[in-house]
Amino acid sequence: MDYTTLAVKRASVTNEESLLLLSLYEAFQALPDPRRAQGRRYELALILCLLVLAKLAGQKSLCGATEWLRHRKVTLAERFGLRRSSLPCQMTYCHVLAAIDAKRLDEILSAFFQRWEAQTRCGEEPSRLLTPEGHADHRHLAIDGKALRAASKQAHPIHQLSCYEVSTGRVLWHCDVREKHNEISDLKPLLTTETVKGRILSLDALHTQRAFCAQTKRLEGDYLLIAKDNQPTLKEDIADLFEDPTPDRRRWQEAETWDKGHGRLEHRQIVCSPDLNDWFAKEWQGIEQVFRIERTTRFLKTGESRHEVVYGLSSLSLQKAPASQILALIREHWAIENRLHWRRDVTLGEDACQTRTGLVPSRLAQLNSTVLSLMDRVGVRNVARQMRYFDASYDKALDLLLTGYCSVF
């Protein structure tokens, strides 16, 4: 069997322990291998690293990744210290992906990216992560679901929940919504003290539920939620407050932003009020303010305008989170759509991938998230351009996987 005798060396790195700390290949070594020892030719860490390498180079399908890797088998075998210049077939990747422990994989990857951040930001002083600035970078978590369209023709299409750390781009966990369940029921056991305590959780309107608010406050976290038609009474009560022509506005706060880009001019205005706290206190545990956001978008090319009004609530008080911060947090929540889900769908071709075997699409989605986290950690601004660069110079992508260092195009 082709277990590696890999010895990673790099002239620009003098601390061998630091080098291993930033090696994704070394991190994968901690993942238990569920396969029988008999007939096992390739180690688990090697198989996962090869798949991530192919994805870094722009391969969007499992078939394409297998062929891309085999065309480079001599060089890859040499870099990984394999005894023979042969690489796994497509079915080997499928069997391994279907068998691995997804929860343990998420834990390993989350810890890996946290170590990487600690190493690059703090060096020999990890206590610097305990400063208020360090806590702030990990405070905001965006949680959202995404359908894996490759599996849409299955009897039970895969719908995956992700927990995304907005400031760092780290995915804490993925969860496949079980058959005859939904996002609401499957999210509940995932909310633990370790995940929630001291953090702000933002979710879409589906999760604007009384039980979620109570659980979040019980775990010493905060929530930021949108009120839509699934909670009609809540939405109407908030709307009535802000549409009242003669309210007492002394405790209210307002903020606004203007943004121009992508052919659009966007104006966002928010009004926050604590006046409904007592009214909602029994049903919506921990509520500290409600808000109204008005968005006006003008398309510069056509001159057309789009207007939208959104209502919401939060357990953050106006003292802890004034109107300007609430507006910023709501906009930052969309990072999980724009920087994670959209890039997985479009840039990494997740929607177009035709792999449908069992849980394999879900595991490939986890590797796609890993690719994007790697790109964020090394400061890549244009993922598609960097993938083309890695395709032409895949030795640089190997450096990233084995040492944590690479050239950014």
pLDDT at residue 37 in the model = 86
Three-state secondary structure of 129-151: HHCHHHHHHCCEEEEEEEECHHH
Strand order in the sheet with 170-176: 170-176, 159-165, 140-147, 200-202, 222-227, 305-314, 289-299, 264-273, 253-261
Pick the CATH number of 107-340 from 3.90.320, 3.90.350, 1.10.1400, 3.40.50: 3.90.350
Tell me how far apart the alpha carbons of residues 205 and 228 are, in angstroms, rounded to a whole number: 6
Supply the DSSP string of 96-114, one letter for each residue. HHHHS-HHHHHHHHHHHHH
Tell me how far apart the alpha carbons of residues 153 and 149 are, in angstroms, rounded to a whole number: 8
User: What would the pLDDT profile of 24-77 be if each residue is shown by its tens digit?
Assistant: 999 999 999 999 988 889 999 999 999 999 999 999 999 999 999 999 999 999
For the chain, domain boundaries: 1-100+378-409, 107-340
Cα three-residue angle 398-85-100, rounded to 5 degrees: 65
Q: Is the pLDDT of residue 132 over 60?
A: no
Tell me how far apart the alpha carbons of residues 205 and 378 are, in angstroms, rounded to a whole number: 33
**H-run or E-run covering 170:** strand 170-176
Tokens 């929607």 correspond to what residue? 351
**H-run or E-run covering 312:** strand 305-314
| pTM score over 0.85 | yes
User: What would the pLDDT profile of 367-383 be if each residue is shown by its tens digit?
Assistant: 999 999 999 999 999 99
pLDDT at residue 84 in the model = 87
**H-run or E-run covering 200:** strand 200-202
Tell me, what amino acid is at 329?
A: L
